[in-house]
Structure 1
Amino acid sequence: MNFETLEEEILKCDLCKEKFGFEPHPIVFGNQKSKIMQISQAPSQNVHKTLTPFDDASGHKLRNEWYQISDEEFYNPDNFYITSIAHCYPGKSANGGDRLPPKICATKWLTKEVEVIDNEIYIILGAKAASFFFPKENYTSLIFSNKEINHKPVFVLPHPSPLNARWFKENPQFLDERLFDIRAAIHKVLR
C-alpha cells in the first residue's frame, strides 16, 4: 500500500465507532519522508476536538520543554510524522481516565505506517506504545536504553502527562540525564 492510500484509509476509518459511542476522528500528521516518527498511545480529548496532534498541555511540555523546538518545527510535516497506537480518542473509562486504545487500530494501521514511513528516528511516548513494540521488556529499562526498529534508532520517553509525576520523582535521571541525549538526537535530525 502506498502512503497516500494508507493515509486516506486511516482518515476515513470508523472501525471503533460502536465501541466509542461517538464519531471517531482519526488523527495522523506528517508525510512519507518525515524525519521523525513519533508514536504515542492515543489522541487526547482536546486533540479529538481540535484535530491537531498534541494540541494540549502534554504537547506544549513535549515541544517546548523536552524537545526545545518551536511549534513550527514540530508541526512541519517534513520533520514529524505523528501517529499513535489508536488514531482516535478512545473516550473516558468508568474511573474517569481515558480508555485503553483498541489494539485493532495498531494491528491494522500502525504496522503499515512503520513499513511505509521513511523516517530517520523513532520516538515512542508512553508505556502502551512501548509495549506494542517491545512487549517483553521493562518499560523503565526501555527509556534508559537504545533500541532499534527497522535498523533505525528508537527513543522511548515517558508520556509528559502530569499523571506521571510519581514516575518522574522515582526516576530523576530521565530529566537530569537521558532527556539530553534524546533532545540532541532530535536536534541533529532536524538541523
Structure 2
Amino acid sequence: MTSIESRLPFEELVAQVRQCRICESQLPLSPRPVIQISRDARILVVGQAPGRRVHETGLPFNDPSGDRLRDWMGIGRDTFYDENQLAILPMGFCYPGTGKSGDLPPRPECAPAWRNLLLDRLEQIELTLVIGQYAHAWHLPGGKAPVTERVRRWREVWPKMLPLPHPSPRNNLWLRRNPWFEEEVVPELQQRVRAILGR
C-alpha cells in the first residue's frame, strides 16, 4: 500500500483493483479480480477466493455455494447482487487454481495489497459475514482457530460479524454433524439481514 493509493478517490481505487496483476505469474488462468463493492453497502460478505465458474462469469458466488449462502441469508439473487446493499470481497480476488482436495487457498499477495484500502472505505457496513478459515484468520480476533470452534463461538462477535462455515456442497457432512448451525445460527442471521436491509 502506498500513500498515493490510500488517497485515491473510491472509484479510481476500485478500478485499480479490477486491473490488478500482482500475482499473474502464479495463477492458472489470466487475472480476473471478482468483487462487488459500493460505499453504500451495509452487509459485507467475505469469502475465500473465486472458483472456476465464478472466474468464468465474473459474478461472485454464482455457484451452488452462493445458492446455499443466499438461503442462509434469506434473500434472493436480486438483493444479493445489489452492490448498494451487499459488498462482496473475498480474501483473494482471483481464481487461484485447483489442488488435490479442491480449490487452492487465496493467493497471499492479494489481501495485504488491497484489503485495508477497500475496507476503510466501507463506512456503512453493519454486518460482516466471515466465511471459511482464511477469512476467519484475517477478520476475527484470536488468530487461527478451527472453523467449527469459530462458528460455535459466533455470539462473541455478533451482531457486527458472523463466522460461517463455507456453504460449499463439500461441507454437507459438516452440516449434518453440526445441526445446531442451521437450527440456531441461520434464523438469527436471517432476522438480522431483514432488519438491516428492510430499513
Q: Deviations over 1:39-78 (max 9, x none)?
A: 1000111000000111111111211x21121211111111
Q: Does the alignment pair 1:178 with 2:185?
A: yes
TM-score, length-scaled by structure 1: 0.91
Matched, 1:107 2:127: no
User: Residues 148 and 172 from structure 1, CA distance in 2 versus in 1: closer, same or farther, beyond 3 angstroms?
Assistant: closer
Structure 2 residue 191 is the aligned partner of structure 1 residue 190: no
CA gap 1:148/1:33 in 2 versus in 1, 3 angstroms:
farther
The residue number in structure 2 matching 1:124 is 130
CA contact (8 A) 1:146 1:153 kept: no
Specify the SS of the correspondent of 2:98. coil
In the TM superposition, residue 28 of structure 1 has moved relative to its aligned partner by 0.9
Tell me the residue number matched to 2:21.
14
Code of the residue aligned with 1:126 in structure 2: it is G
Q: For residue 78 of structure 2, what is the amino acid of its counterpart?
A: E
1:139 aligns with 2:144: no
Aligned equivalents of 1:123 and 1:21: distance in 2?
Answer: 28
Say if 2:158 is the partner of 1:155. no
How many positions carry a matched residue from both structures? 187
Q: Secondary structure at the match of 1:4?
A: helix
Cα-Cα RMSD? 1.7
Say if 1:39 and 1:84, in contact at 8 Å, map to a contact too. yes
Residue identity matched to 1:90: P
Code of the aligned partner of 2:96: P
> In the alignment, residue 131 of structure 1 is paired with which amino acid?
A
**Aligned counterparts of 2:144 and 2:103: Cα–Cα separation in 1:** 24
Report the Cα distance in structure 1 between the residues aligned to 2:74 and 2:189, rounded to whole angstroms: 11
Does residue 79 (structure 1) correspond to residue 88 (structure 2)? The answer is no
AA matched with 1:35: R
Question: What is the TM-score with the length of structure 2 in the denominator?
Answer: 0.87
Distance 2:156 2:95 in 1: 28
**Cα pair 1:20 1:90 within 8 Å, conserved:** yes
Q: How far 1:96 sits from its partner (Å)?
A: 5.2
The separation in 1 between residues aligned to 2:191 and 2:79, in whole angstroms, is: 15
Give the match's secondary structure for 1:8: helix
Taking the aligned partners of 1:178 and 1:96, their CA distance within structure 2 comes to 28
Return 5+ residue gaps in structure 1 as ranges: none
Q: Deviation at 1:106?
A: 0.9
For 1:71, give the aligned amino acid: R
Percent identical residues: 29
Asked if 1 retains the 8 angstrom alpha-carbon contact of 2:28 and 2:96, the reply is no
Supply the AA of the counterpart residue of 2:168: S
Unaligned runs of 5+ in 2: 1-5
Verify: 1:61 aligned to 2:68, yes or no: yes
